[in-house]
Structure 1
Amino acid sequence: MAVVEFFPPPSPMPSATLHPVVRFNICDCYVRRPDQAERVIGTLLGSVSDGVLEIKNSYAVPHNEPADQVALDVDYHNNMYMCHLKVNPKEVTVGWFSTGFGVSGGSALIHDFYNILPPIHLTVDTGLRNGQASIKAYILVNLSLGDGPLAAQFQEIHLDLKMIEAERVGSDVLKTTVTDKLPNDLEGMEASTKRLYSLIDDIYKYVDDVVEGRAAPDNDIGRFLANELASVLKFLQMIFDNVFNKIIQDNFALFYLSSLIRTQLSIVEKLNTAAQIL
């Protein structure tokens, strides 16, 4: 009797981190998809370091799904990838994504096209079946019957959402159902500063609790705080005020110039429209 063997994924189990720009780009591609398309398929770009795959960018690839087959526009994929390498040569193809709930019957065929080892398959549930746009990452493992291959199975791996503070502010705004307007640079800076003050207050409270004996000391936290404080550049108050004021003035100048450019473009557009009418 033949024995079905299961080949586990590489050890240790790989994990992945996802930047928020990839998530929003996939959702934007889904909203802008052709009317006849049920889902969006595309390429994931990023890098691998210490066994952790970091997904930093993505782009959609046109495709057709007649019957149970999947046909990708390979020329479009190759052209987009070559253009991307000219801008970000350190970001390579790390897998592919698709919208929808879980993997489908044709996922293995597309997975074979991205023949890097091992490619990541990212799924985004744009149908909100569980009340949210759940995102999952998979790798492909193989089953065999005796000496011959039998089937392939997608196995879910750990996925973290990685973002810096500026991205977190924008993500919190876009996650809300309704918003009046997107925050400008100053509003984003204000939100980040308030969050920084909140974190500093939490640190103050923890240190005071440890000193007063209300909380048990943690050597790892203490070393982390000491390293962070040692990494902060020490400025005199006058020097810091001058540097900060110059940065603020530069930001105001850029904001003013961008407003002038937008105004000029609007005037030119109106003049062109009037000239066509006349």
Structure 2
Amino acid sequence: MAVLQFFPPSSPVVSARLHPVVLFSICDCYVRRPDQADRVIGTLLGTVSGGVVEIKNSYAVPHNESADQVALDVEYHRNMYMSHLKVNPKEVLVGWYSTGFGVSGGSALIHDFYVKELKDSTKDIREAQNSVPPVHLTVDTVFSNGEASIKAYMSVNLSLGDRSLAAQFQEIPLDLRMIEAERVGFDILKKTAVDKLPNDLEGMEASMERLYALIDDAYKYVDDVVEGRVNPDNDIGRFLSDTLASVPKMSPIAFDKVFNDRVQDNLALVYLSSLIRAQLGIAEKLNTAAQVL
């Protein structure tokens, strides 16, 4: 009896890590896509170590898509890839991405193309990693489930006995590598609700509220240690001591003056930025009117 089996690649990818700059670049390319294009397709660059693909960079690849086929601009892809290698040789081809919810019908053809490109590029660039398969990343930019869905896939072979039938996409774990500031931007990006961003004063107020909450937590911890309710931690105590030592020793009046001066400087920068933006808008309209006349 023939048995239907899945055969993963010889050097399987365990998981993938995505840097936020790649995600924001994909979203930007989707916003700037041609009117007739339904989605964006592009190349993923990064590194591979211990079965983990770290996706660090990307670029969009022009394509024409019909109901039953997809035609990539291969020459553009190869020229862009060689240009990236000249700037950063350590970031190599690790896969490709497309916008949309999940894997589409033409994904297998595109994936086969990148498998061949990966084999050709690894002959001279990364001999030690030439068996690592490309990763397919999908980004749901239309918020099908109410928020942006980001998934990573690898291809596994489907065989019946000794005969290879087809390849199937299998989802792999995906880790978003973000610092706190990038996480805030991503949380705003992935929501469908269109809320205005906080202005400077609102942002400062929110920051001060978080600071008060952290100070209150530190005060409660120190009080619990002094009263014997919590065992002391030398690392936390050293961190609190270094934090207190870093605070400038100045009178409340001097601190208020420095703080107010900083606020005034920020407001002046905001005003100058708005003024420059208005001047550029007027200059653009005058230039357009002059060309029409």
* Structure 2 residue aligned with 1:137: 152
Paired residue secondary structure (2:141)? coil
Q: How far is 1:143 from its partner? A: 2.1
Task: Mark the CA change 1:46 to 1:208 in structure 2 (over 3 Å): closer, same or farther.
Answer: farther
Task: Mark the CA change 1:253 to 1:104 in structure 2 (over 3 Å): closer, same or farther.
Answer: same
Within 2, Cα distance between the matches of 1:45 and 1:223?
Answer: 42
Matched, 1:237 2:237: no
* Structure 2 residue aligned with 1:80: 80
* TM-score of the superposed pair, with normalisation by structure 1: 0.71
The farther-off stretch of 198-207 and 36-45 is: 198-207
Paired residue secondary structure (1:98)? strand
Within 5 Å, give how 1:147-158 maps onto structure 2: 147-158=162-173
Task: Mark the CA change 1:140 to 1:164 in structure 2 (over 3 Å): closer, same or farther.
Answer: same
The total of aligned residue pairs comes to 272
Mapped contact 2:96–2:136 kept (Cα < 8 A): yes
* Structure 2 residue aligned with 1:62: 62
**Structure 1: unaligned runs, 5 residues or longer:** none
Within 5 Å, give how 1:14-93 maps onto structure 2: 14-93=14-93
Task: Mark the CA change 1:71 to 1:261 in structure 2 (over 3 Å): closer, same or farther.
Answer: same
The aligned amino acid for 1:150 is L
Task: Mark the CA change 1:178 to 1:85 in structure 2 (over 3 Å): closer, same or farther.
Answer: same
Q: How far is 1:229 from its partner? A: 6.6
Within 1, Cα distance between the matches of 2:264 and 2:90?
Answer: 34
Q: How far is 1:262 from its partner? A: 4.9
The Cα offsets for residues 82-128 of structure 1, whole Å up to 9 and x where unpaired, read as 33344444333221111222212321221122224221111122343
The aligned amino acid for 2:195 is T
**Structure 2: unaligned runs, 5 residues or longer:** 119-131
Mapped contact 1:169–1:191 kept (Cα < 8 A): no
Within 2, Cα distance between the matches of 1:83 and 1:183?
Answer: 39
The farther-off stretch of 100-109 and 263-272 is: 263-272
Within 1, Cα distance between the matches of 2:102 and 2:287?
Answer: 50
Paired residue secondary structure (1:237)? coil
Q: How far is 1:210 from its partner? A: 7.1
Within 5 Å, give how 1:134-213 maps onto structure 2: 134-174=149-189, 175=191, 177-180=193-196, 182=197, 195=210, 198=213, 201-202=216-217, 205=220
Task: Mark the CA change 1:269 to 1:4 in structure 2 (over 3 Å): closer, same or farther.
Answer: closer
Within 2, Cα distance between the matches of 1:225 and 1:45?
Answer: 39
Mapped contact 1:166–1:188 kept (Cα < 8 A): no
Paired residue secondary structure (1:114)? helix
* TM-score of the superposed pair, with normalisation by structure 2: 0.68
Task: Mark the CA change 1:264 to 1:126 in structure 2 (over 3 Å): closer, same or farther.
Answer: closer
Within 1, Cα distance between the matches of 2:133 and 2:215?
Answer: 41
The aligned amino acid for 1:121 is H
The aligned amino acid for 1:142 is N
